[in-house]
Structure formats: structure tokens, C-alpha cells
Amino acid sequence: MRALLMVVVLGATTALAEGGWLTARGRLQPELRFEAWGGTRTAGLGFVRPDAPGAGAGLSAELVYAYFDRTAELRAARVWQFSQNRFGTGSAVLGGSLHVVPERFDAGLGPHAGLNLALGGEVFTVDLGLQTGVELFFRDLVPRLPQRLLISANLRLGDWGIGLHLRGGVDLVPGHAFVGRGEAALSLSWFGFEKAR
Amino acid sequence: MKRPNLWICLILLAGCGLPTPRTGQVVSPGVGRAVFEARTNGTDLVPITVLFPALDDGAPVGGPHPGVVFIQGGFVSTARYEWQAVELARAGYVVAIPENQLALAFFSVDYGQTARALLATPPAGSLLEGLVDAQRLAVAGHSLGSVVAMKLALQGNFQAVVLEAGFPDGADAAQLPGFTRPSLSLAGALDCSAKLASVREGWQGLSSPTALTVLSGVTHYQFTNAQTEDVQRKCVPEASLDDAHARIMQAVLGFLEAALRDGSVGQPALEAVPGVTVEAR
């Protein structure tokens, strides 16, 4: 634990306040969900845990590795499901992230927020999402604002689920040119942890 | 090994620096090639291919040399422009070609400034240390890359700009009158992608000193290492690829030599290129 804390404190960090993959869903599943994904820029794994079985709020954490950039990121968020009707289910997300960039020493804070809508039923949904964030690098004191749109198709069969996800957007940097972002990913989810215990 | 967690942390924190080549691979007589990586936007890792004047063992020829940052065209790999970088390096230039995400420089304009920074303030101990004269840096680009090259030139820190088969972004029109560095718009007369009329219209917005040089018989993709796309689209060049390349480089070198020497466009050198029409102001 002390070693992990040392990595977090001393590790070269910049904060990339991009929202999480796992919380970019309109529906908070009633049980604990573990998920792993592989995409065109990142791979990672994490979980979403409702406060109680079937609760309308929960916590999420995910560990991400961006293999082209060779950086690692830890994201955590609180998610609330705020509506559910016959047409769709909506959720809101508020969280933060911590980045590790191996050869640079910089610290930053990366809050992010998101709104999501799930269209569909218990088995198949199409999820739409908006994500925004603000990050500040303490070395440069230059804020950066990542803005993202997401769409995904998610299929759940029993204790397993698969998804195809697309995310695109820009990083807005005051006084600089924007940076375009885009990624596609496949995910595999498992909901059977509590049954297996 | 005691305290494995501590060792793991130390390994993570130490020795994870970016590669800093001290020599390059000789790719052509007198020309070396090396690939650097640079950080930008906090987390983005940008591969930058550098071509430079080299000795037989791949070590750089002592500088300082003038430098060029070259921006790739849309969806065209950087490797297809290395022929230009080799010719420029053979003539004594150090050329940096940043790799843009999805080969779309328009969505990562600042990667060009990252490449400039690599040339101007290189990593200590790398082959670029002391190699480039930061006061003689030009930016060039082909097609959509020329749009980005003009944006980079407008941001500053470049002494000249070359637009190959392209023209400035209309959104930058208001800034163009204030740009007083020498510029070259180099176009192919038979370009089916960046039509000559559009290139000329874009050139009209540039302030002097500037030159428009039109190469007869040359098409859009002849600025790259192959004209395949032109032929597939039935845009048939009248000049051979080798002839096009020779004239393109003669024009670019003639312009750069003058621009980085005395701030002119080198009109006599441009007019000496076979099969061109030159307008300058």
C-alpha cells in the first residue's frame, strides 16, 4: 500500500479529464458489473458497483492504459440514475481522474462529468452520452477542456454482456488549436460476481 | 529480492524516458534518418521522423543547419513524403515530419509546433543537439497539410512557409494580411484535387513577399512518392514522377535558400525551374 501511494504521489502525472467508459451508460445495472475493454487507443478494466442491489446510485473505478501514448490513468466516478420510463433511462456522472506519464513530472486535477441516455430494454440498449471535463496542469497552468460524444450498443445475456463503443470529440485548449479525439472499443462485462460468492 | 513493491515503483519511475537517438540510419548517401518521440498536450506521444545531413556512420554533419517542419496531407502517410525530406537533407536541411493522429494534421495542428520545438530545443545528448539553427526554420505542407502549415506559420516561430498543392484555410483570411514572412504556393497545373483556380484564389490572400509557382503537367499526388491516386481518379499527369519530383525540389530549394537567407522568395531561382509559371509580389 505504501508503495502504491508513493507511485501516486511521486509518479509523473498529468490529468486527462476524459470521462470513463464504464459509466457512459444510461442504465445503472442492479448488480456489481466488472468490465474490460480493448479499443483503438486504450485498454482497461474496472467496475461499477451500486450502493445497494438495485440502488439508483453507485461508484465506478477503472484503470486505463493508452498504449500508443504509453500512459496509465486511474478514473473514479459517482453515477446516479435519475430517470426511467418506457422510452429510456438516464444517468449523470461526476468524477475525477489521475494520469501517469512516465518521463514527466507534472500534477493536475481532472474532474469530469457526463450525461447518458439508454434506449432499449434489459437485453439490448443503445447508449448515448455527453462528457465534459476540466483539467489543469500545475506546471503550465494551462486549462484543457475535453468534450466528448459517445454512442454504444450493449447486449446482455444472463451474467455476461458485450458492447461496441464509439467516442469522439475535441480537447479545447485556450490559446491553442483544438485536438481531435476519437476511439472505438469492444467491451466484455460480467455481472455474476455476487452469485459466485 | 527484498521489498519487491519498492523496486517495481523505482523501475516505473526511472528509466522511462523517451528515446533520444544519438545517430541515425543512413538511408541515402549523405542522409541519415532517426525517429524521435515528443510529448504534447500533456499525454500525447508524437512520433517525429527526422532526416538530416549525415556522415557514413549515421552521425550528423556538424551544424547549425536550417530546418523544415513538413506536415503530411490528409490520409497520406508521412512515409510518402520522405523523398522530399531526403532531398532537403541532402541539400543541408534538417527535416522533421510529425506523425498526426489518423494522418489528419487538421485535428492535431499543434503537433507541428511540437516538431518545431524538437528541432529548436532538442533533448540533451541527442543527434539534434546544436544541429539546427532555430532562426532559420521553415514549415511546409502538402494538400490539407498546407492548410495546417499556414496555421502554424501564422502562430509564429517560422521564418518561411511552403504550401504544396493547397491554400490557406478561409477561417484564417483575416490573419493573412499580417503575415509578412516569405511564402511559396507551389501548385501542379493538372491538379484535380486542389484545383488551380482555388490555389490561385487562396494565394491572393497572402501578403508579400510571396510567390505562386505552377508546375506544368504535374498532378496532386505527384508531390508524394506515387501518383497512384491521380491515375485511379483518371487525373493523368503529363510529367513523369521523376520529372515532377525534380522540379518540385528545385522550386522548394530555390525558395527556401532565398527565404531563409534574405527574406525574399527567390524569384530568379523559381523562374529557372523548367516548365513553370511564376507570379510574385
Q: In what order do the strands lie in the sheet with B276-280?
A: B25-28, B31-40, B44-53, B94-98, B65-71, B132-142, B160-164, B183-188, B210-215, B276-280
Joined together, the cell numbers standing for residue B124 give: 540533451
Q: Cα torsion at B45, B49, B54, B56 (round to 10°)? A: 100
In chain B, what residues touch A7 (CB-CB under 8 Å)? 9, 12-13
Give ipTM to 2 decimals.
0.79
Check pLDDT > 60 for residue B119: yes
For the domain spanning A2-196, the CATH number is 2.40.160
Q: Report the gap between the CA of B99 and the closest CA in chain A (Å).
A: 12
Hey, is A99 helix, strand or coil? strand
pTM across the whole model? 0.88
pLDDT band at B42 (very low <50, low <70, confident <90, very high): confident
A179 contact residues in B (CB cutoff 8 A): 41, 44, 107-108, 110
Higher local confidence (pLDDT), B200 or B16 = B200
Structural domain boundaries in chain B: 20-280
B253, containing H or E segment = helix B241-262
Looking at A55-64, A78-87, B195-204, B232-241, which range is the least confident one?
A78-87
Is residue B260 within a helix (H) or strand (E), and if so which, with residue range? helix B241-262
Q: Which residue of A has its CA nearest to B37?
A: A69
Mean pLDDT of A159-164: 96
**pLDDT: which is higher, B210 or A1:** B210
Mind listing the pLDDT tens digit for each residue in B209-266? 999 999 999 999 999 999 999 999 999 999 999 999 999 999 999 999 999 999 999 9
C-alpha cell at A79: 453515477
Nearest to B32 by CA among B62, B56, B65, B68: B56
In what helix (H) or strand (E) does residue B9 lie, and over which residues does it extend? helix B4-13
Q: Is the dihedral of CA A138, A139, A142, A145 positive or negative?
A: negative
Per-residue pLDDT tens digits for B156-201? 999 999 999 999 999 999 999 999 999 999 999 999 999 999 999 9
**pLDDT for B250:** 98
Domain B20-280: assigned CATH number: 3.40.50.1820
Q: What residues in B contact A10, CB-CB < 8 Å?
A: 9, 13
Task: State how far residue B257 is from chain A, nearest Cα, in angstroms.
Answer: 30
SS3 A106: coil
**Model confidence pLDDT, tens digit, residues A110-151:** 889 999 999 998 899 999 999 999 887 666 666 788 999 999
Q: How confident is the model at residue A106 (pLDDT cuts 50, 70, 90)?
A: low
**How does the average pLDDT of chain A come out, rounded?**
84
Please give the radius of gyration of chain A, using alpha carbons only, rounded to the nearest integer.
17
User: CA B85 → CA B2, B50, B78, B88, distances in Å?
Assistant: 51, 8, 10, 5
Instruction: For residue B41, give the nearest of A104, A96, A150 by alpha carbon.
Output: A104
**Chain B residues whose beta carbon lies within 8 Å of the beta carbon of residue A137:** 42
Asked if B42 lies within 8 A of A6 by C-beta distance, the reply is no
Chain-centroid distance, C-alpha B23? 21
Domain segments of chain A: what residues? 2-196
Partner residue opposite A11 with nearest CB, options B5, B13, B18: B13
Checking if the pLDDT of A2 tops 60, the result is no
pLDDT of residue A12: 32
Express each pLDDT in A8-26 by its tens digit: 333 333 334 578 899 999 9
B88, containing H or E segment: helix B82-90
